[in-house]
Structure 1
Amino acid sequence: MNLDSLVAIDVHTHAEISKDGHGSLSPHLFSASADYFKAHDHRQPTIPEMASYYAARDMAAVVFTVDAEHATGHPRISNFEVAESCAEFPDVLIPFASIDPWKGRAGAHEARRLVESYGVRGFKFHPSIQGFAPNDPLAYPLYEVIEELGVPALFHTGQTGIGAGVPGGGGIRLKYSNPMLVDDVAVDFPELRIILAHPSFPWQDEALAVATHKPYVYIDLSGWSPKYFPPQLVRYANSLLQDKVLFGSDYPVITPDRWLADFAKLEIKPEVRPKILKHNAIRLLGLEKT
């Protein structure tokens, strides 16, 4: 990966469809997400299409799916398929994996194999969809392995568009995505690199507090257009957290084109802008070593 030539590194994109056309979530949850993001015209790109999209923009992208088989009953997209597909485009795509914490030790064994044999560089958790509290000990065998392997864990935080507007929210409980629950994880696994994904509405101040207090907790800015960022998030990104904030789009529901156009209008210091767009991710993901 030629880091010097990259404009940006998007740390938050979704593989929504497998090679055989299987979606990562059920159709009714996908539909609710499209309503929430007003993204009815977006299609579900394949991983090769994602590689082409980002290469055309001189960007790299972290790619992951969401494994929520226990809570939803919906079969996941294989992490091994995602990793193998990303490996075909190593100059553009960075594979993450997602393992349902309810899989216990079996999930921990899979995590080790994915990192050691398939080049996976991090793990995505979505507590609300996966139906678990991040500080529940059921997830600790998985965190132990991730911490040992030295790769980051990315947690969805705040409200989610998945299930929005569906009766009962499609069974999705927002409380599991409070960043204060991840604070416990940061205490119990002090060397684990953690990313709090998204502006964490309605817990933005909590996310800022955790990222300020815990040295290895970062924040990604995905899932929102920058023009809607809370002012305190912009203020901290410009100052105390300038080395711990990361560009993420939430592609394909939000495109990097839209995100970057709105980010260009945000009052971010010139010396901080490249940190957010690229340099913080390079350091966190250890890309300078590859």
Structure 2
Amino acid sequence: MNVDELVALDMHTHAEVSRDGHASLSPDLLGASAEYFKAQGHRQPSVTEMAGYYRHRKMAAVVFTVDAEHATGHPRIANEEVAESCAEHADVLIPFASVDPWKGRSGAREARRLVEEYGVRGFKFHPSVQGFAPNDTMAYPLYEAIEELGVPALFHTGQTGIGAGVPGGGGIRLKHSNPMLVDDVAVDFPEMRIILAHPSFPWQDEALAVATHKPFVYIDLSGWSPKYFPPQLVQYANTLLKDKVLFGSDYPVITPDRWLSDFDKLEIKPEVRPKILKDNAVRLLGLAGNK
């Protein structure tokens, strides 16, 4: 990957379908997400199609699925498949993995194997969908492995479109995605790089507080069009958090084309814009100097 040739690095994209057509979540949950994002009928691109999409735009992307087998009963897409597919397109794709924290020490062993044997560069958690509080010590063996491996952990925070409008929200509890729960993780694992995904509605101020207080906590801007960003998020991105805010789209439900078009209209300082679009992610992922 030649990072100098990239115009942006998207830190938040989803592998929604496997090679054999298996979806990452149940039809009810995926359908609710598509309706929430006004993305009904959107295609679920393969990882290979995603590579072509980003290569054409001279961008790179972090790709992951969500392992929520314990809470949903839905079989995951294999992390190995995502990693292997990304490796085939290493000029533009960066594999993250998702390990259900309910798997305990076996999940920790899997995390080590995925990094050491498959080149995985980070891990995605979705506490609401996976049905756990981030500060539940049940997840700590997995965090210990991630901290030792020196790769980031990305946590969904705030509202989620998954399950929205389904009776009972499809069993998904929003409270698990309060960023203050991740603050405990940042205390107990002080060397682990943590990314708070999304503008964290209704807990935006909490996310800003955690990211300014904990030196290795970052925020990605995925899941919302920038025209809807709350003013305090824009203010902090321009100032105190200018080195810790990351571009993310949430592709395929939000495309980088739409996101970047709206971001162009946002009042972001010229010297901060490249940090958000690429430079902060390059530093976080240790990609500087990659050719």
Aligned-partner Cα distance in 2 for 1:142–1:197: 19
**CA-to-partner distance for each residue in 1:139-197, whole Å, 9 max, x for gaps?**
00000000000000000000000000000000000000000000000000000000000
Aligned-partner Cα distance in 2 for 1:149–1:103: 18
For 2:37, the aligned partner's letter is F
Aligned-partner Cα distance in 2 for 1:51–1:285: 19
Q: Which runs of 4+ in 1 moved over 6 A?
A: none
Aligned-partner Cα distance in 2 for 1:41–1:277: 28
Give the structure 2 partner of residue 221 of structure 1: 221
Give, in angstroms, the shift of residue 8 of structure 1: 0.1
Give the structure 2 partner of residue 202 of structure 1: 202
The structure-2 alpha-carbon separation of the partners of 1:121 and 1:289, relative to structure 1 and needing over 3 Å to count, comes to: farther
For 1:209, the aligned partner's letter is A
Give the structure 1 partner of residue 230 of structure 2: 230
Give, in angstroms, the shift of residue 82 of structure 1: 0.3
Q: TM-score, normalised by structure 2?
A: 0.99
Give, in angstroms, the shift of residue 236 of structure 1: 0.1
Give the structure 2 partner of residue 155 of structure 1: 155
For 1:49, the aligned partner's letter is E
Aligned-partner Cα distance in 2 for 1:288–1:274: 14
SS class of match (1:30): helix
Give the structure 2 partner of residue 275 of structure 1: 275
Give the structure 2 partner of residue 43 of structure 1: 43
Q: TM-score, normalised by structure 1?
A: 0.99
Give, in angstroms, the shift of residue 288 of structure 1: 1.7
Give the structure 2 partner of residue 211 of structure 1: 211
Give the structure 1 partner of residue 34 of structure 2: 34
Give the structure 1 partner of residue 260 of structure 2: 260
Give the structure 2 partner of residue 11 of structure 1: 11
Aligned-partner Cα distance in 1 for 2:38–2:98: 26
Aligned-partner Cα distance in 2 for 1:91–1:9: 12
SS class of match (2:12): strand
Residues 3, 289 of structure 2: 8 Å contact kept: no
Give the structure 2 partner of residue 124 of structure 1: 124
Give, in angstroms, the shift of residue 42 of structure 1: 1.0
Aligned-partner Cα distance in 1 for 2:85–2:51: 10
- How many residues get paired? 290
SS class of match (2:288): helix
**CA-to-partner distance for each residue in 1:13-32, whole Å, 9 max, x for gaps?**
00000000000000000110
Alignment of 1:89-100 (within 5 A): 89-100=89-100
Q: Give unpaired runs (5+ residues) of structure 2.
A: none
Instruction: Report whether the alignment pairs 1:286 with 2:281.
Output: no
SS class of match (1:288): coil
Aligned-partner Cα distance in 2 for 1:289–1:201: 36
The CA RMSD measured in Å over matched residues stands at 0.5
Give, in angstroms, the shift of residue 289 of structure 1: 5.5
Aligned-partner Cα distance in 2 for 1:177–1:144: 20
For 1:193, the aligned partner's letter is R
Give, in angstroms, the shift of residue 38 of structure 1: 0.4
**CA-to-partner distance for each residue in 1:186-211, whole Å, 9 max, x for gaps?**
00000000000000000000000000
Aligned-partner Cα distance in 2 for 1:285–1:183: 21
Aligned-partner Cα distance in 1 for 2:182–2:247: 20
For 2:160, the aligned partner's letter is T
Q: Percent identity?
A: 84
SS class of match (1:134): coil
SS class of match (2:83): helix
Give, in angstroms, the shift of residue 41 of structure 1: 3.0
For 1:259, the aligned partner's letter is W
Aligned-partner Cα distance in 2 for 1:22–1:41: 17
**CA-to-partner distance for each residue in 1:28-64, whole Å, 9 max, x for gaps?**
0011001100001311000000000000000000000
Q: Give unpaired runs (5+ residues) of structure 1.
A: none
For 2:152, the aligned partner's letter is P
Aligned-partner Cα distance in 1 for 2:289–2:157: 29
Instruction: Report whether the alignment pairs 1:175 with 2:169.
Output: no
